[in-house]
A and B are shown apart, each in its own frame.
Chain A
Amino acid sequence: MRNENLTQGAFSFVNGSSEMASLIRMKNWSGSPLGALESWPEMLKSMIATVLASPFPMHICWGKQLFLFYNDAYRPILGSTKHPVAMGNPIGDSFPEVWEQVGPLYQTVLEGQSVRHSDRELILNRNGSPETCYFDFSYSPIIGRGGQVLGVMTYVVETSVRKFAEIEKLKLSKSVYAINEELTTSNEELVQANEELMAVQEHLKQTINQLEESDTSLRLAVEAADFGIWHIHSLSRDFITTPRLRELFGLGHFEKIIIEQAITQIREDFRDYVSTTLENAIYNNGEYDVTYPVIGLNDNKLRWLRAIGRLRADPSGEFSDFTGVVMDVSDIKKDEERKNDFIGMVSHELKTPLTSISAYLQFLEMQISKAGADNLQRPVARVIMQVRKMSKMIEGFLDLARFESAKIQLNREIFDLAGLCTELELEFADQIGTHIIKFSGKESVMVFADRDKIAQVINNLVGNAAKYSPNGSTILMSCVRKKNIAMVSIQDQGIGVEGNEQVKLFERYYRGENNGTIAGFGIGLYLSAEIINRHNGKIWVESEAGNGSTFWFTVPLAN
């Protein structure tokens, strides 16, 4: 106010209404290097007035010290910390952070040249912290009447916003490029993966084709053989069957059948045997190859079926699949029955004349003895013995025939197996004078089995032992309990059995290779094995050629 009143004329150059004009007007310049305002050179005043009047950001720097005067348009470039101190002070003092860069430019201008920069980056500290800014500016000399440089005139536009946008754009495009690159790479990988996939697919197609082919041939084979197929899940006991299987059990093609129903269709005398074997196969991985008669549910027709199954554990280990085939063996079975009937009939027909022969011979023997014809006694005794042998063979055939046609059922009862052995030991002592037969068991072993049939097995094994071991040698019998089974052994000191013969021994009509001089039809061991198998027991031999044999068999304990 004071200045306004005092020096009206001298203040005319800052008369404008702009903020900066007012600032210059109000400031007390008397203590400054420029001195009081009214003493400033006309040229300076004129330049300040020009700057203040411009709507474009401008400033001038006066004199060698570069005293700064700026207009309102320039004001934002100074931020919050440089204004208003910068006004009238050397510009270097206000921009120490960039002086190293711009100071030399001013120097150049003071020497008479102009400077023009576009998008010049400068890091200003104008709001309390360093800040990257961009400017378009020109510095040009203020030339006096005498041509001398009085100061610097600056036009400046801050381009930071545009520049940053450009940078962002660049960054963005760079990252777009990077993404694009990545995409290209991924795409290449994708193409490769696709190619691999196609190769796998081709392979899969081939595999499926092969699988279909093998499936077709399997199905053709199964159909040609007229097999029924079934499948049992060990946990759920789901019973999946083919129409042919249902047909074999006397059901319609579309009727449902559950495993229990199928077992009920099995003829009663075979039902327990099949059911036990089946359970053992599913839960203990036992062998499953059984032949049994089935009465058809709807047609009441009797069919003989042979079923063969195999257990396959699921990879999870949690359950198993029991799968198998069933075939109609009725014709085979009928042939077998006819054959067995024939054997039975022949045996019966042979026994009738044998009865006469044997009785007449015994009568003859008695008469010879009475008459004292000693020279005839021996031959007659021989003939009687031969006839007895013949009777035994015929008996064996009959047994076989009976067993095979399954007319004989097991009559199971609970009895003491050791007791039976003791009984038989006494009988053997009577019948077999050629060998010493000893039974070593003392404790009773209660079993659930057919007593007569087991006796037949022991009889047969001991008979064999006597047949195949030297006279006067010992035959040892034992009977022990082991877990839930009873084990019986018959040990001889005979000719023994070669390893490769040990299994064949129990086959029908099989005879050892080195026993050409010993009579028999190879029926006894086969029958014994059949009897023990029917009991769900096991029969086997441990032997070494020349070192005697031990025959073993097992039957279930009573419980």
Chain B
Amino acid sequence: MKRILIIDDNGSNLEMLGLIFTSEGFEVKLLPDPQNIESVLRSFSPRVVLMDIVMGRFSGTDVCLWIKKNPDFPLVKVLLMTASNAFKTLSPSETLADGHIDKPFDIHEVFALVDGLLDQNAG
């Protein structure tokens, strides 16, 4: 089963992402903030984390760096998304993310990106 963890503080977007990934056959876990991410990563063990950057008092980029530097989760792929222009100045080498997605996005492009990461994981 393809497991994906989606974190976004905007309820409508979170629900929408849950719907489309579920319909694509993913096992989906939705979180409105990254507060309990560590336990979810351990219990749910997602292959991919799709996460917003600006989430109230939480910063997606900080969480991403935490995951990427944590030796417990070496295989977890992280995709960052934002409606701001952060990616005009942030490069993946700085966030250590496996991909950047600008909102609004084309869902086909997002599927392609996630599939690509899953293939890497499989390989």
Contact = CB atoms under 8 A, between A and B. Distances in A.
B23 A355 contact: no
A352 B107 contact: no
A408 interface: yes
A362 B103 contact: no
Given A352-B13, A352-B103, A391-B104, A359 B88 contact: no
B39 interface: no
A356 B89 contact: no
B83, B84, B88 interface centre (most CB from chain A within 10 Å): B83
Contacts of B13: 352, 355-356, 359
B89 A351 contact: no
21 contacts: A344-B84, A348-B83, A352-B10, A352-B13, A352-B83, A353-B12, A354-B104, A355-B13, A355-B104, A356-B13, A358-B104, A358-B106, A359-B17, A360-B16, A360-B19, A362-B20, A362-B106, A366-B23, A367-B23, A398-B85, A408-B89
A439 B19 CA distance: 44
Contacts of B12: 353, 356
A391 to B, nearest CB: 5
A351 B83 contact: yes
Name the 9 nearest CB pairs between A and B, nearest first: A351-B83, A355-B104, A355-B103, A358-B104, A362-B107, A356-B12, A354-B104, A356-B16, A363-B20
A344 B84 CA distance: 8
Contacts of B104: 351, 354-355, 357-359, 387, 391
Given A359-B104, A362-B108, 12 more contacts: A344-B84, A355-B13, A356-B12, A358-B104, A359-B13, A359-B17, A359-B20, A359-B107, A362-B107, A363-B16, A363-B23, A367-B23
Contacts of A348: 83-84
Contact of A408 (B20, B88, B105, B107): B88
Interface string B90-123: 0000000000000111111000000000000000
Interface residues on B, range: 10 to 19
Contacts of A360: 16, 19
B10, B20, B103, B108 interface centre (most CB from chain A within 10 Å): B103
Nearest to B103: A355
B1 to A, nearest CB: 21
Nearest to B17: A359
A402 B23 CA distance: 37
A359 B107 CA distance: 6
A353, A356, A360, A387 interface centre (most CB from chain B within 10 Å): A356
A402 B85 CA distance: 9
A530 to B, nearest CB: 15
Nearest to B19: A363
Contacts of A363: 16, 19-20, 23, 107
A348 B85 CA distance: 9
Contacts of B17: 359
Given A362-B107, A363-B20, A363-B107, A355 B83 contact: yes
A357 B16 CA distance: 9
A435 to B, nearest CB: 23
Contacts of A408: 88-89
Contacts of A391: 104
Contacts of B89: 407-408
Nearest to B110: A359
A440 B104 CA distance: 35
Contacts of A356: 10, 12-13, 16
Contacts of B105: 355, 358-359
B16, B20, B104 interface centre (most CB from chain A within 10 Å): B104
Contacts of A353: 12
A356 B23 CA distance: 16
A149 B20 CA distance: 175
Interface string A141-155: 000000000000000
A493 to B, nearest CB: 31
A358 B88 CA distance: 22
Interface in B37-88: 83-85, 88
A359 B85 contact: no
A346 to B, nearest CB: 11
A355, A356, A367, A399 interface centre (most CB from chain B within 10 Å): A355
A402 B88 contact: yes
Contacts of B83: 348, 351-352, 355
Nearest to B89: A408
Nearest to B106: A362
B103 A351 contact: yes
A367 B107 CA distance: 13
Interface string A101-131: 0000000000000000000000000000000
A402 B88 CA distance: 10
Nearest to B11: A356
A408 B89 CA distance: 8
Contacts of B16: 355-356, 359-360, 363
Nearest to A398: B85
A359 B108 CA distance: 9
Contacts of A344: 84-85
